[in-house]
A and B are shown apart, each in its own frame.
Chain A
Amino acid sequence: MTSPAPTDRVPPQLSAGPRPAPGPAADEGLARRLRALACTAPLHDLDTRKANLAGEYSVYGMAEVALAAIDLVTLNMDFDTGADHDQIVARLIPRIAAQAPQRPVAEHERVARWVLENLINVGSVDRGFRAVYGTFTTDGSYVRRDYDFKLIEEVPGPGGTVYLRTTDEAVNVLVGALDTDVTSAQIAAEVKLEVLINRGRLADAQLAAEQARYRTVQYSESLRRALDATRRNVRAVDWLNAVPDMIAEALDHVADRYRHENAILTNIRKARDETEDAEHKRRAAELVDIVKDCIRRHTQLQSRLLEAGPLFRAEQDRQAFATPLASSGIDLYGHLLAPALPLPLEQAVHVTDAFFARGTGLRTPVSVRVSDLVDILLTPPVEREHLGAEMPEPDLIATPDDSRFSEEQLAAATELLDLPADAPRRLSGLLAEARRRDPDLPYLVALLAVHAASPPVGTAYRQGEEKLLFAVDDGTELDDPEFGGADLIVGTALLDAAGMAADRTEAA
């Protein structure tokens, strides 16, 4: 009873049954998901490969840093340029520092650069990634295919600089599933934001506002592309219907958003000023910044939109209304470039080779005589002047040192004012002590003390300093032979450097 079924009956069953795998239509969804999945691979890869870095880097969440980097680049993408490389690194550092506060800043920066370089994939010639996946073709055979993608790409900016942009793949997969209709998605986000603010749910509101900003950026991007194409060739774009419609729509959109966001701004400002909760206040303040940024972007968009019409007319004059000449032969684009691009590589290369061979002109070949050759070979190599012309020795005139106080005096004064945090002193005492050391020193001490009456708190906060000199006037009069005024209390305040760093991170 358990004997196996006769095998010779199996093949006919297979061939008669359905195909061994679902056809390409069913496969397409799978391929799409495989590609989406592939876009996340470089991020996972970062966490796997951090073990190979020289040093102990396991404390850092590389995927987190990478996602933050992609967010930062996306938010900083402007019309003309992308995000600045160094700026992104600088903005990443607080987050990385928060992951491992005890590590040196240089290491944090190294991590930021490593992550960014890996997202660009600097090592490969294409500066991109490749994933291999398989699909079934129409005839049921299995084909492995290469999927090439980029997450962050480098684009040329003004003046030869290089800027970063996130690719569509990165935005769609990693920033969020944003491949929906831009306009409607934006409206949805705005409505959501308004409702959230009305209900006082600011945490959610911030999230929604940020999403709205992503969409704004994306909207600007698609518009920028359309305008670029217009500039290139007026007929490349449908100026009869599509573009005027789009511009009208976009202008409406800007006007609408502008009104809307100003209303939101008023609302949040009210929320910010009225709320008692410090956390709410801070979030509302951040939200104000985000919405302001949105408004700025809309304004930018609007100015571009207004330029579009005159640009079209100027290009139209240039391109279309010129007297038609006795036309001749070849339209390089339509006849050559456009048909060559869709060809398979091995065919297209014939066309480009032919163009190259006839289109590059001529080079006069170098020829040498044997007698010259001997001379050439025996001539010592000329020093390459890669340093440029020699600089003339500058004629320096020693400027007299007219500083009021010397370096030593400053050091002495600083040492004198380096007070322990729990023991502030009166200015009179400090002046007397200074006078014993050096008759000139009291002037410097008095100057520093008066400066300390208005201490540079903001600078200290930004630079993350640990202590700060301050001076307070408690009404006591200064009794001193040389100086008059208030006998200030001079002391040192300890600052919470770690707390401030964390604060800065959140604010960023």
Chain B
Amino acid sequence: MTEHVEWSEPDSGAAPPAAAPVTPADTADAARLVAFGLQPKLQPARDQEYAELLRRYREDPPFARLADAVATGLGLVVLEVSPRAGMAVTAAEDSVFAVRMGDYARRTSADGGDRFLHGLAHLAIAAMAFPRPEDLADDGYIGRVSVNGVDTFVRQACRRLEERAEQHGDNTDPATDAPGLEAAWRIWVRRSATGATKDARRLAGSTTGIVGKAAAFLTDSGFLQRTGDDNGGTYRTTSRYQLQVRDMAGSAAMAELLELGVVPVTDGTPTLLPAQDTDDLDLAADAGLPFHSSRS
């Protein structure tokens, strides 16, 4: 009755010939599927041809290998191929499709502070969208974020650090001649949250401006969908974003952190202690709120 492709439906008709040689037409189809994957905002359910190719990918292993090879050759990493996420591909390192910080925002090469703020905005949006490890793991989970919410959330975390530093009696004011040694959270705190501008647009350099830019960029990447204008703009996540964060970004940042030797060093601090706990619930509970344990 509809032309919609049902995945659960047992496929009866066109059982693909298993050992058929690869034809140029097959390659064209595989490349076509990768091309669909390069349009992240395209929904498989809305495009008959896309859905058909996805079905073929899942049911025809040689075709799947062919599509994978095309993607790899182009410098793409296949994250998942499924009806919900479509052909979820992302740029491999140094691929022509990769996003460079320098193209993303001005001032980022000269000023380490701005570079950090833009990167942190992306990390914070992800952390806010998937507050608990379960949320990141649950394929059905849809995260919701708002621009102002992300800013508040980072500021709150910074505030806890500030309070903790005060309790320790640390002087966190950075030395004048060594700005690179300033604690990272201070950069965010120092930047104004918003600001009045002459044309009533968001002040680009403010933290909400930076988060807003990140959210808009992620929307263009097909990772977020804008749902409203409240709180500086509200968004919900797509399954592609979940895959991207789970399989790519999270582990990459984690590796970087480990390389800095951070995890062993934070042994004594409360933040990561629950992470070593084997109980899943406890891990979810306390890892989400690093500040809490400082009082116990």
Contact = CB atoms under 8 A, between A and B. Distances in A.
Interface of A: 24, 28, 31, 85, 120, 122, 125-128, 132-133, 135, 143-148, 150, 153-156, 158-160, 162, 225, 228-229, 232-233, 235-238, 319-320, 322, 324-365
Given A331-B287, A341-B158, A362-B95, 13 more contacts: A126-B191, A156-B148, A330-B133, A330-B136, A331-B288, A334-B288, A342-B184, A348-B184, A350-B259, A355-B126, A355-B252, A356-B118, A356-B119
Contacts of B283: 327, 331
Nearest to B91: A362
B257 A336 contact: yes
Given A132-B176, A328-B133, A359 B248 contact: yes
Interface in B144-177: 148, 151-154, 156-158, 161, 169, 171, 173-177
Contacts of A127: 191-192, 195, 206
B38 A328 contact: no
Contact of A335 (B112, B152, B180, B287): B287
Contact of B253 (A128, A319, A336, A361): A336
Contact of B40 (A324, A329, A361): A361
B183 A344 contact: yes
Interface residues of B, number: 117
B78 interface: no
Contacts of A31: 171
B177 A340 contact: no
Interface of B: 38, 40, 76, 89-91, 93, 95-99, 101, 104, 112-113, 115-116, 118-120, 122-124, 126-127, 130-134, 136-138, 148, 151-154, 156-158, 161, 169, 171, 173-177, 179-188, 190-196, 200, 202, 205-206, 208, 217-218, 221-223, 229-232, 240, 244-246, 248-257, 259-260, 262-263, 266, 271-272, 274-275, 280-281, 283-292, 295
A362 B171 CA distance: 41
A235 B289 contact: yes
B288 A355 contact: no
A147 B206 CA distance: 19
Contact of B133 (A120, A320, A327): A327
B161 to A, nearest CB: 6
Contacts of A354: 249, 252-253, 255-256
11 contacts: A126-B192, A145-B175, A228-B152, A236-B288, A337-B123, A340-B184, A348-B116, A354-B255, A359-B123, A360-B99, A361-B90
Contacts, number: 327
A178 B263 CA distance: 39
Contacts of B290: 333-334, 338
Contact of B221 (A125, A331, A353, A360): A360
Contact of B194 (A128, A154, A355): A154
A24 B168 CA distance: 13
B195 A357 contact: no
A359 B122 contact: yes
A147 B290 CA distance: 26
A346 B183 contact: no
Given A333-B127, A360-B217, A362-B97, A344 B180 contact: yes
